[in-house]
Structure 1
């Protein structure tokens, strides 16, 4: 419950009733947040225990339970975030400040300044669509859209050129570069990705195999 200050009554009894209602609402929200915090802590402890049990083992059952708990934890955190109705500036399609029924906007995730940014300009042109007059720049509205560059596999062809001496007919060729795993096609970047996905992101090898198959 919230009312603008200019709309509040001057009656002390009415004000006391409003204060009591706000206190009850605040207590209810605080209790809900405490329950959410307890669930989050319980889920995190359970996930940590299962990860210790799964370390060094290939138990698919444990890995699936970890995944289910992580999804439940994610859903709970999303639910807590949705309860936070603090307004933000999205930079586009937002209602005017003088509109009394403007809805509260959801909180936008924080993106590091070091994150790669690509600028796309939407230019209305040089002529006014109504009168045909020349347009001049008076400012711009900038909004951000968080997107992802999908991973891409590539094959690096190593061509060792053979050359022969015109004088002595000796064959000259650069030696083959060393590989992280002798006889394997896996390059160092691919191996690093596989290791991080398995031991840090807990993504089993068979699932990585399915992902690589979808990538061709």
Structure 2
């Protein structure tokens, strides 16, 4: 048998090894958490840089940050192993987030597929302040907006570039960008395309489902619901003109109406 002092020393060594092993595991967990935190900070910095200086098409997808946030929420506690019941609800949230990401990706792909392959016409818009004194400003990026344009007989992609400027002597101030004039936010149709659609609908009396088929044969599938919504948007934008036309038509007190053209 081993002497009592050796047994005592062996037990002490085993306890020391167990303690050190626990400390190593704790440090590993802490290191992993710091790595995740560092990744979150890096993504935030990238998102801010793209927001300020990058193109709109380069903006960070919020789903990318959501993945990291979920990883942090489900991280292993420092004081013990992960409890099985803590992750029971995780699959539901994960599935919902995954479905939302897939839906966003499908919508983005649909827009990109519609604009892909169309001829591109670039329109550069600079702020009035820069036009007045171009030597005082430095271009440091641009906001790029892609709209779907139409020239009778063909579709094209109109690429609007709104360059950003900062003053040479005041680079710390926020940059300026020319405003973007759209009838409605997120509407990718140019006024020329909207005018062509309304002409087909109300002057040539083509129903929206026929216009939908015409655009589909041209390689751009636009649903009749979208065409109808754009018609209502244009009616709201042209409210003053429509009111003037109504006053002119009803001024005589004698109005002729047919089934197609409306009041005359």
Structure holding more helix per residue: 2
Structure holding more strand per residue: 2
TM-score, length-normalised on structure 2? 0.26
